[in-house]
């Protein structure tokens, strides 16, 4: 398996050493079950668009997907034909996602406090940063599991006096 899929970097954060900062780490790209070209889909199978739009899509009629991702409708119960698959727009819930579980957070190097680490919406990690030394950069390292596979997300946290 490609290491880029198991470990990825997210955009930097900047915080004042005297303030706390609540962050949301979006892991959609590793949790979503994407619609793939020329793939066989069974009736009732769910996918998500490569670019998130807030909806999931259920195969109303199974078959072989087309070569290009369709223009996904954003009205509930609307349909779109994709090769020989008919997709129906659905409310997202956990449909089409492999939910992330067991998120943890640590500071590298030690010195940044990472607390209140939890999962939200099946594909987001919530956390709070506190402390750190002005002028120092830390990596907030988040471990979590998706579909039985351990993954790591890293965020550079720059501590700067405001």
106: domain CATH number?
Answer: 2.60.40.10
Residues 83 and 68 in one domain: yes
Residues 37 and 56 in one domain: yes
Residues 105 and 25 in one domain: yes
Residues 10 and 60 in one domain: no
Q: What is the mean pLDDT of residues 42-68?
A: 95
Is-above-0.85 flag for pTM? no
Q: What is the mean pLDDT of residues 30-38?
A: 94
Residues 42 and 22 in one domain: no
- In three-state form (DSSP H/G/I as H, E/B as E, the rest C), the secondary structure along the chain is CCHHHHEEEEEEEEECCCCCEEEEEECHHHHECECCCCCEECCCCEEECCCCCCCEEEEEECEECCCCCCCCCCCCCCEEEECCEEEEEECCCCCCECCEEEEEEEEECCCEEEEEEEEECCCEEEEEEEECCCCCEEEEEEEEEECCEEEEEEEEEEECCC
Residues 48 and 86 in one domain: yes
Q: At residue 2, does pLDDT exceed 50?
A: no
Residues 119 and 73 in one domain: no
Q: At residue 105, does pLDDT exceed 70?
A: yes
Q: At residue 3, does pLDDT exceed 50?
A: no
Q: What is the mean pLDDT of residues 87-105?
A: 92
Q: At residue 1, does pLDDT exceed 60?
A: no
Which residues span the domain enclosing 118?
A: 3-30+98-159
Which of 73, 90, 107 is the endpoint of a domain? 90
Q: What is the mean pLDDT of residues 34-59?
A: 95
Residues 43 and 82 in one domain: yes
Percent of the chain with pLDDT over 90: 83
Residues 104 and 154 in one domain: yes
pLDDT category of residue 95 using cuts at 50, 70 and 90: confident
Q: Which residue has the higher pLDDT, 66 or 54?
A: 66
pLDDT given for residue 5 in this prediction:
53
pLDDT given for residue 7 in this prediction:
83
């Amino acid at each position: 398996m490609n290491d880029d899929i198991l470990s990825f970097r997210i955009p930097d954060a900047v915080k004042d050493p005297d303030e706390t900062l609540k962050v949301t780490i979006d892991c959609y790209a590793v949790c979503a079950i994407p619609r793939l070209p020329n793939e066989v889909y069974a009736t009732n199978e769910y996918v998500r668009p490569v670019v998130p739009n807030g909806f999931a899509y259920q195969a109303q009629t199974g078959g072989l997907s087309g070569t290009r991702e369709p223009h996904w409708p954003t009205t509930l119960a609307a349909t779109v034909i994709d090769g020989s698959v008919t997709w129906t727009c659905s409310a997202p819930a956990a449909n089409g996602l492999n939910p992330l579980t067991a998120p943890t957070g640590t500071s590298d190097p030690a010195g940044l406090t990472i607390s209140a680490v939890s999962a939200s919406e099946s594909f987001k990690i919530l956390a709070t940063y506190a402390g750190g030394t002005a002028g120092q950069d830390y990596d907030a390292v988040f471990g979590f599991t998706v579909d039985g596979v351990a993954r790591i997300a890293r965020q550079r946290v720059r501590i700067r006096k405001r």
